[in-house]
Amino acid sequence: MKQILILLSLALMGTTALADVRYRCVELDRVSVSAGGRMSPAYPGRVLNFSKEGQNFCGDGVFFHKIYHITLDDASGWRARAHSQERDDLYRLNLISARRGLLFHTAIINYRSEPVIQSQAFSCAVVELDPSFGQCAAK
């Protein structure tokens, strides 16, 4: 019985990870690093809202591309990457449960004359769908 419950839990988490979902996240930490030094925000804890629809993300803060390559990371979450002339972005959502997870984001940004690496960690929760959900394709 215990094995059936574990398998069912893993199946539900995997479904949540790949399904079209809306997340609300709170920043845990952020750092920017360049050849010139390191910087952390004066006011950490910003809120990030985003939705995942198929191979796209809509959100405020760390989603700057039109198309992402998203893959399921077993039943523990997903990974995504995107590339443009200005930046390369990597994302990983590590699920703690079917409704909570940690989002890690790292970007290498071609900023002025030297590249900058930005890394962030967020605590995220799945939130209910709302009327604004479904606007990724419209952007």
CATH for 2-127, options being 1.10.10, 2.60.40, 2.40.128, 3.30.1360: 2.40.128
Phi and psi torsions of 5, nearest 5°: -65, -40
CA distance from start to end of the chain: 46
Q: What is the pLDDT of residues 12-41, one digit of tens each?
A: 334 444 457 889 999 999 999 998 899 887
Q: What is the pLDDT of residues 71-114, one digit of tens each?
A: 988 778 899 999 999 999 999 999 888 789 999 999 999 977 78
Report the pLDDT value the prediction gives residue 129, as an integer from 0 to 100: 60
In terms of residues, how long is the chain? Answer: 139
Report the pLDDT value the prediction gives residue 133, as an integer from 0 to 100: 53
Report the pLDDT value the prediction gives residue 66, as an integer from 0 to 100: 85
Secondary structure of residue 13 in the 3-state scheme: helix
State the pTM of this model. 0.77
**Distance separating alpha carbons of residues 124 and 19, to the nearest angstrom:** 15
For every residue of 26-57, which 3-state class applies, written as one string? EEEEEEEEECCEEECCCCCCCEEEEEEECCEE
